[in-house]
Amino acid sequence: MEITIISRYTAKPSSSSLQHLKPHKLSLFDQLTPATYVPLVFFYPSSSLTTNLSQTLIHLKTSLCETLTLYYPFSGRTKNNLYIYDFDAGVPYLEARVNCRLPEFHKLQETQLLNDLLPFLPFQKETDHSDLLPLLACQINVFACGGLAISVSMSHKIFDGDTGNAFLKTWASIFRGARDDIIHPNLSQASLFFPPRDPLPQNYLDLMDSLWFKGSNYVSKRFVFDAKSIATLRARSTSENVPKPTRVEILTSFIWKHAMAASRALSSGPSPKTSIVVQAVNMRPRMNSQMRSDTVMIGNLFWWAVAAADASEADAHDLRDLVNLIKESIKGFDSEYLESLQGEDGGFGTISEFCNQIEAMLSSETPDIYAFTSWVGFFKQVDFGWGRPFSIGAMGKVGPAFRNLTVFVERQWDRGIEAWVNLEENQMALLEKDPQFLAFASPSPGISSM
């Protein structure tokens, strides 16, 4: 497969009056989140496209510029990890030709090929001149059959799942002329509730860096859990404590259980490592009524729920037990805890306590850490007028320094869920041979119905 870049452009807000606006303040959670690029690729088959291709490409560009007028911080650059300014700096926008048909691309079943469709490599450790890095980049890929892959690289410095979902749905709504579906962003509320810290202690930034990035050989694979498999696992996960586990809680526990087993099998020490799950928890729906907004609060409004288990007892860990551990860790994100995160002093005190606890834990041992984030409920409605995307790509080959991360993405045409799993190579090799895991997880199934 060959991809040829045929056009490079810098997309900027269509309004020329934005330079008079004040810089956009980052929130404390933005400050603590690294400027690594989150990838997303939306695939649209040629059969769904209803307009002339050249007109489509032009309109994608102009509608992006109009969207950036509403979401103007995404066109700027960060400064000193405190704010975003220079809203005229712009968004790299590329157009590319792919010398194969879209169905042929999907049959290749190699997740690392997604990297070629992206403007920036996914989940790299971006350390050099981070203030100069774009916060967003787009690449429009045209396949030989006329199908499209619309790809974005979103900097985690300002984008979380809800933020990306609002922006992309608005771009799609403006493109198709559905003005009533535009999602207007709330650009100020996050930094009002969770103000930035100046200066932010360097040891906290170093801690976050060590939690996000660890040098190793990583492999990214896509596993599909169909509705029947999820229903069977639900029956094994239900308990008196958790009578109605969510699909994400079930699959998080299932993958964690088998990752622990792989780690234990590879362990050569006298006692296996502690195994830790960190889950990204969206704080917006958990806020009290005074904190909620009719518009979408922009920025990183998530934090980590932490659960721990003894990897030496991986076989003994019942799925119900792990689901209960995960449920309990998420329960801590109640309105009282979220209120403790607010304000310049109180909020920073709560975050300091969290960071100090993690630092103390890491100083005494080197645990296995598995991160999970769910995009279930996000991105299904990115409809440019051609219907939902046929499929969504969530992760190519990540950089050499990252972490064990699983991203859950809802299937577009059924109740199944895709787990895009990034795992250290030796653990992935065992996971792919684990018959109890493969009884429910289908590795990289081909897409043949296009």
Q: Decide if 290 contacts 239 (C-beta within 8 A).
A: no
Q: How much is the pLDDT for 292? A: 66
Q: How much is the pLDDT for 44? A: 93
Length of the chain: 450
Q: What is the pLDDT averaged over residues 431-450?
A: 79
Q: Enumerate the β-bridge partners of residue 138.
A: 93, 152
Give the active site residues.
156, 383
Q: What is the pLDDT averaged over residues 194-212?
A: 93
Q: How much is the pLDDT for 364? A: 74
* Secondary structure (DSSP) of 64-91: HHHHHHHTGGGGSEEETTTEEE-TTS-E
Q: Whole-angstrom Cα distance, residue 84 to residue 111?
A: 33
Q: What is the pLDDT averaged over residues 179-204?
A: 94
Average per-residue pLDDT for the chain: 91
Q: How much is the pLDDT for 450? A: 42
Highest mean pLDDT among 120-129, 285-294, 341-350, 423-432 belongs to 423-432
Tell how strand 218-225 and strand 185-186 pair up: unpaired
| The pTM of the whole model exceeds 0.75 | yes
Tokens read off for 404: 């064990």
- 77, 116, 367, 386, 408 from 151: Cα distances, Å: 20, 10, 35, 16, 18
Q: Whole-angstrom Cα distance, residue 298 to residue 112?
A: 30
* pLDDT above 90: percentage of residues in the chain: 71
Q: Which of 245-254, 304-313, 374-383 has the weakest average pLDDT?
A: 304-313
Residue 314 has pLDDT above 70, yes or no: no
Q: Whole-angstrom Cα distance, residue 179 to residue 13?
A: 17
Q: What is the pLDDT averaged over residues 15-39?
A: 91
Give residue for tokens 């990540």.
398
- 28, 171, 178, 205 from 345: Cα distances, Å: 11, 37, 43, 18
Element of type H or E holding 93: strand 91-98
Write the single-letter amino acid at 328.
E
- Cα 340 to chain centroid distance, Å, stands at 26
Q: How much is the pLDDT for 246? A: 96
Helix (H, G, I), strand (E, B) or coil at 321: helix
* Secondary structure (DSSP) of 17-52: -GGGSPPEEPPHHHHHS--PEEEEEEEE-GGG--S-
- Burial class of residue 376 (count of CB atoms within 10 Å of its CB; 0-12, 13-18, 19+): middle
Q: How much is the pLDDT for 397? A: 86
Q: Decide if 213 contacts 202 (C-beta within 8 A).
A: no
Q: Whole-angstrom Cα distance, residue 249 to residue 231?
A: 13
Q: How much is the pLDDT for 445? A: 62
Write the single-letter amino acid at 291.
M
Q: Is the dihedral of CA 42, 302, 91, 67 positive or negative?
A: positive
Express each pLDDT in 146-189 by its tens digit: 999 999 999 999 999 999 999 999 999 999 999 999 999 999 99
Q: Whole-angstrom Cα distance, residue 364 to residue 366?
A: 7
Please report which confidence band the pLDDT of residue 448 belongs to, taking 50, 70 and 90 as the band edges.
very low
Half-sphere exposure of 10 (CA within 13 A, CB side): 9
Express each pLDDT in 223-256 by its tens digit: 999 999 999 999 999 999 999 999 999 999 999 9
Q: What is the DSSP letter of 272?
A: P
Tokens read off for 84: 């975003």
Tokens read off for 82: 């405190």
